[in-house]
Amino acid sequence: MIFHMCLVGIGGFFGAICRYLITSYFQRILPRRIPLGTLAVNWIGSFLLGYLLGITEDNELTLLLGTGFMGAFTTFSTFNLETVKLLTSKEKTAGFIYIAITYTGGILLAFLGLVAGKIVKGV
Q: What residues form the annotated binding site for Na(+)? A: 71, 74
Instruction: Please state the residue numbers annotated as binding site.
Output: 71, 74
Q: What is the 3-state secondary structure (H, E, C) of 56-117?
A: CCCHHHHHHHHHHHHHHHCCHHHHHHHHHHHHHCCCHHHHHHHHHHHHHHHHHHHHHHHHHH
Q: In whole angstroms, what is the distance from residue 45 CA to residue 61 CA?
A: 15
